[in-house]
Amino acid sequence: MKKIILVLLGLVAYSFASVIGLDALGEEQTAGGMASTAGRGYAGGAKTGDAEGLSVLNPARNAFDTKVVFNVNFLMDMVVLEKKSDNFVVNNISMPSFNLSFPMGGFGAFGLALWQSYSSNLNEEVSEGKNSVETTIEYQSSVYEIVPNYTFRLPIIRNFSVGASAHVVMGNSTRKISMGPDMEDVASSDTWAVSRTELADYVDGTWEIKNHPAYYTAAIQYRGHQSSFYFSYTTPHTLLNKLDYNFRMSELDTLAPTKRSREVEVPAMLATGMNFRFMKRNNVMFDLAARGWDKDIENIGGSFNMEPVTETQKDMLVALGFQRDGSPMFYDPYLDRVTYRLGGWYKTWYVKDVYELGGSLGAGFPLGRKGTTLDLSFQGGKRFADSGRAWEELFFGVRIGLMGVGSWGQTR
Amino acid sequence: MKKFFVVFLTLFALALTACIFDSEESVMADWLSAQGIPSGYQVQTLSVNELTPLSSEVFLDSAPKLANDRVVLGKTANISHDLVFDAAFYDSVFFADLKKTDSVEMFLALHVLKPFYLAKQFPADSLPLKENVTLTISWKLEKGSSKSFVDSVWDIESETWLSDLKKWKPDSSADTTVSVVISSKDTILKVGLPAGLVSAMKDFSKACRLQLRVSAPEASRTYRFYGVETAKYPQIWASFPKDKSFIEFNPFRTAHIVSSKETCSDCAVLHGGVYDSLVVEYESAPIMKALSDFYGDEFPYTGEAGDDVRQTVVLAQMTFARDDSQGTSELGLPIQVVVGSYTDSSGKSIRKMEAYKLNKSLIVSKGHPNMVFYEGDSLTLQVTYGLRDFINRARDGRTFKMMMRLGYPVLQDKDSTYADRKVDGDTSYVFFSHFDHARYDFSSSMKQPSTLKLWLANKRGDK
C-alpha cells in the first residue's frame, strides 16, 4: 500500500483540469466527486450500506446506515487540450468534497457535506508574445456548498426512506491575466513610456445564492433485498457572483473597480438511480440525472474580446457501473476484502455542444481492521467540443478517497 | 497483485510525463487567442491640446520649521529668512559675575557653510564677499532657579516650540549692523548681542532661557551657516574683558521662519529652498471630450456601479510653455521641477508625488524635460498617477489637480540615470545638494495653453 501511495504522490505533480466553461461556472464535480462513486462511473446513488457515505444527489440514502461515516476525497486530474494536431496540458489538484454522516437509529440520520460543486482552475504562463513580458493567466473560482442533510426511514414501510438537504452556497472567484504592452499603434519615439510595463486585468468576487440562504434537494429511497432505487429533486436556484473588475499596475497600484453582479440561473435537477445486487456481493447500477438549462450563462468576460456569455444546453448524466463489494470478514484473504469497481458514463455539459464520455476503474482497499478504507479510482475519457473557443479535451484523473466507518457512542 | 499495481501506476506516470513534455507554448497562445485574450494589452497615445487651467494658485508654507543642520539668514527672491535660536542654561557663577561688571560683551557666532560657498557651482567671482548687513535682533527671556528648569526647557517638544513661534512676541528688540565676510578661509559671523539683552540678564541669578530671533530684512541675499547638529554649531559667548575670560552657552535648536515679500498676489511665482507650491487645476470637460472622440465611448464613464476600468493610463505628461526670463537664480544651474498630483485615497484627496520615467534618448540629446533655467521653451512634467486616478473616477465630476515646486539644482542635465552613483571610486552627483533660492514666475506659462499627452492601455475588444 505504501508503494501505491508513493506513486500516487508522484502523480500529483503531473495532474490537470478542464478549461471548458472557465469564464462561466467551470467544471462540475459530478456526484460530489467521491472517489468510490467515481470508480463505478458515477453510478450507485441508490446503493445503500455503511461503506457508501453521504450522497449529495440522494439525501435519503444514509437513513439505512448504522455507523458513523467520515469520507474525504481528493482529485488530481490532467487534461490534454487538443485542436487538430496541437495540444497542451493544464493541471489541477482539488478536494472536491468531504462528508460526515451520523445515524441516530429511530431518529433517522444526520449528515453534513462540504462540496466544491463547480470550479475553474488554471495557472499558465506563456512567454510567446509581442514583447518581453510573459503573459500569465490565472483562474481560481470555486462554488462551495455546505450541505446539511437529514433522512429517516418511514414508519410501517421500513424499506422506504425520505431525506432532504439544504445547499448553502459560498465561494470566491478570481481571474488575473497579466501581460505586457502591444505597441503596434505607438510611434517608435513614444515606446519608451510603456516598454516592459506589465498590467493585469484583474477580476475578483464571491459566490452566493440570490435572495435565499440555500437551495434544496429532496429524495425518496427504496431498499429491497436485491434491488434499490432512489429518486431526487433539486430546486432551481440563482447563483449570484459579485465581481470587481480592475486594470492594475501592481497589487498596490490599482484603479477603483467597476462592480458587476452576474446571475446564473441554475435549473431544477431530477436524478434517479437503481442498484441490483446479485450473487451476494456483486452489484450493477444505473443512474440518470438531468437539468434543463434554458438560459445562457453570463461570463466573467468584460475584457478584450472575451465572450460575454456561455451558451447552455440540457445537461445530463447517464452512468452505468459495477461493484463487487469486499468481504467484511477480516480473516478473509486481503484481495477478497478489496472492493472492485468498474463503470462508464456519458455526460452532456451545461456548455453548449460539449459532451463527455468517460470510463473508470476503481478499488476500495481496507486499511487495518477498524473499518478504514482507501478508495482509488482512475478515470479517463474525452470531452468533445464543437466550437472555436472550447477545444476538445482528453482527460485522465486519479481520485483518492479516505473513508472511516466507526461506531461512535457504542460500547462493546 | 500489489506489485502489479505499483508497475501499472509507474507506467502511467511515465506516460503522463511524456504527454506534458509534448505540449507547446505556442499552442497555449493559440488557445488564449481563441478565448479572445490577446498576447499584449493595446497601447495608444492621445494628445489633448489647448488646455488652460481653471485655476493656478501658489501656497507658501510660512510656518516655522526646525533647521538644525543648515540655516539660512537674509533676504532674496522676495523671501526673507529669519532664524530663532533656543538656549537654556544654569550657571550661578556666570550670573554673579555678570552683575558685578559693566564691561561684559555677548555675541552670537555663526559658522559660514563653507561647502556651499566653495563649491565650484557657486559663482567663483562672488568670493571674497564683504558686506555690511543690518540685523534686527529680538529676544525673550525666562527666569529659572534650578538645573531642572533647563531640563524642563529641553523637554518642550519642538513641535510645541515651533507652534509657539507663530505668535512671537519678544521682550524687546534692537538693530545692529554687522560686517559679513565670506572667503575661502573658515569664517565666522560674529553678531554682537544688544546691550539691552545683556542688562536684562543681570536680573537673573541661576538659570535662564533665551530665545533669540535674528532677521535681516534689508539684506540683498541669503547667508548660509552650519546648524546646531553639526560640529560647527552656532555659539553664544559672554566675554569678560577684565579677566579675559569667556563663557559659552549654546542654543540647542534653531527654527527657520520664512515670509513672502511678493507684491503680486495673483502671480504664479515659485521660490526655491522653501516649502512653496503651485497648484494647477484643470476642468474635466476637454479631457473627457478628447477621450470620447478617441474611443467613441461615453466619457466620463456612466456604466454599472463603480468606476472606469475600460482603460488605464500607463504614462501621462503635461507640457507647459516656459519663459525663464522672468526668473532669478543664485547659481545659474538648471533647476528640477518636482511634481505631484491629487489622487483619491479611501475617499479623501491626497497629494501623491509623481514618479519620473526616463525618456533616455531625449535626455541624452536634449536634457531632462522637467527643468527650468535651461535651454528650450517648454517644461514637461509627468502626472501619471494623477491622470490615472482622474480618468478612473471622473464620473463624480472631479477636476484634475497637479502641484509643482522647485527642487534641487541639476548638475548633470543630460545624465539619463537621474541618480547619484559611483564612478571610478568617486560619487558622481546628479543634483547639487543645496537649494538655490531662486524665484520662478510661471504666470505666463499658466496663461498659455498646455498639452497633455496620454499613453493609454486599453481593455476594449474589437468593435
Instruction: Point out the residue among B34, B43, B301 whose CB comes nearest to the CB of A194.
Output: B43
pLDDT at A76: 82
DSSP B96-123: HHHHH-S--EEEEEEEB-HHHHTSTTS-
Number of CB pairs, chain A paired with chain B, less than 8 A apart: 203
Nearest CA in chain B to A176: B37
Q: Tell me which chain A residue has its CA closest to the CA of residue B345.
A: A256
Q: Assess contact for B127 and B121: CB atoms under 8 A.
A: no
Q: How confident is the model at residue B242 (pLDDT cuts 50, 70, 90)?
A: confident
Q: What is the pLDDT of residues B9-36, one digit of tens each?
A: 555 554 554 444 445 667 788 888 889 9
Q: What is the mean pLDDT of residues A94-101?
A: 85
pLDDT at A134: 84
Domain-embedded: residue A356: yes
In A, which residues are within 8 Å of B358 by CB distance?
192
Lowest mean pLDDT among B126-130, B210-214, B390-394: B126-130
Q: Is residue A412 part of a domain?
A: no
Q: Is B343 on the interface with A (CB under 8 A)?
A: no
Confidence of residue B463 (pLDDT cuts 50, 70, 90): low
A1, A199, A246 ranked by CB distance to B457: nearest: A199
pLDDT computed for residue B462 by the predictor: 78
pLDDT at A13 over 60: no
Closest CB from B40, B305, B462 relative to A182: B40
| Chain A touched by B18 (CB under 8 Å) | no
Q: What is the pLDDT of residues B445-461, one digit of tens each?
A: 999 999 999 999 999 98
Q: What is the pLDDT of residues A128-155, one digit of tens each?
A: 655 677 889 999 999 999 999 999 999 9
A253 vs chain B: nearest CA distance in angstroms? 9
Query: Would the pLDDT of A410 be above 90?
Result: no
HSE on the CB side for A135, CA within 13 Å?
Answer: 23
Best residue in A2, A5, A6, A7 to probe B by mutation, most B CBs within 10 Å?
A: A7
What's the average model confidence in pLDDT over B227-256?
A: 90
CB atoms near residue A211 (< 10 Å): 8
Domain membership of residue A344 (yes or no) is: yes
pLDDT at B413 over 50: yes
Tell me the average pLDDT across B283-312: 93
pLDDT number for residue A95:
80
CA of A302 to nearest chain B CA: how many angstroms apart? Answer: 8
The predicted pLDDT at position A12 comes to 41
Closest Cα in chain B to A247: B309
B residues 436..455 contacting A (CB < 8 A): 455
Mean pLDDT of A303-314: 94
Determine which of A18, A126, A196 to mutate to test the interface with B (most B C-beta atoms within 10 Å): A126
pLDDT value of residue A9:
44
Q: Provide the pairing of β-strand B70-76 with B222-226.
A: antiparallel
ipTM of the complex: 0.85
Please report which confidence band the pLDDT of residue B160 belongs to, taking 50, 70 and 90 as the band edges.
Answer: very high
Between A86, A192, A255, which is nearest B307 by CB? A255
Give the CATH number of the domain where residue A12 resides.
2.40.160.60
Q: How many domains is chain A built from?
A: 1
How confident is the model at residue B261, as a pLDDT? 93
Q: What gap in Å lies between CA B312 and CA B304, rounded to an integer?
A: 18
What residues 253-312 of chain B have any CB closer than 8 A to a CB of chain A?
301, 303-312
Name the residue range of residue A134's domain. 2-406
Out of A221-235, B87-101, B185-199, the most confident range is A221-235
B306·A244 Cβ contact <8 A? yes
* Mean per-residue pLDDT over chain B, rounded: 91
Instruction: Tell me the pLDDT tens digit for each residue of A155-171.
Output: 999 999 999 999 999 99
pLDDT, greater one: B4 or B396:
B396
What pLDDT score does A129 carry? 55
Distance from CA of A207 to the nearest CA of B (A): 18
pLDDT score recorded for residue B245: 79
Query: Model confidence over A333-354: pLDDT tens digits?
Result: 999 999 999 999 999 999 999 9
B40 in reach of chain A (CB within 8 A): yes
In which band, very low, low, confident or very high, does the pLDDT at A15 lie, cut at 50, 70 and 90? very low
Q: Give the pTM.
A: 0.88
A-chain residues near B18 (CB < 8 A):
none
Mean pLDDT of A367-384: 89
pLDDT for the residue numbered B84: 98
Query: What is the tens place of the pLDDT at every residue in A36-83?
Result: 999 999 999 999 988 888 888 999 999 998 889 898 988 887 788 877
CA-based nearest distance A169→chain B, Å: 24
pLDDT at B128: 83
Task: Quote the cell numbers at residue B401.
Answer: 489637480
Cβ–Cβ below 8 Å for A88 and B461: no
- Predicted confidence band at B295 (pLDDT cuts at 50, 70, 90)? very high
Calculate the alpha carbon distances from A396 to A33, A93, B100 in Å. 14, 12, 105
pLDDT at B9 (0 to 100): 54
**Is B14 part of the contact surface with chain A (CB cutoff 8 Å)?**
no
Query: Is it the case that residue A7 has pLDDT exceeding 60?
Result: no
Confidence at residue B340, expressed as pLDDT on a 0 to 100 scale: 97
Minimal CA separation from B392 to chain A, in Å: 6
- In percent, the amount of chain A with pLDDT more than 70 equals 93
Which residues in chain B are closer than 8 Å to A176, comparing Cβ atoms? none
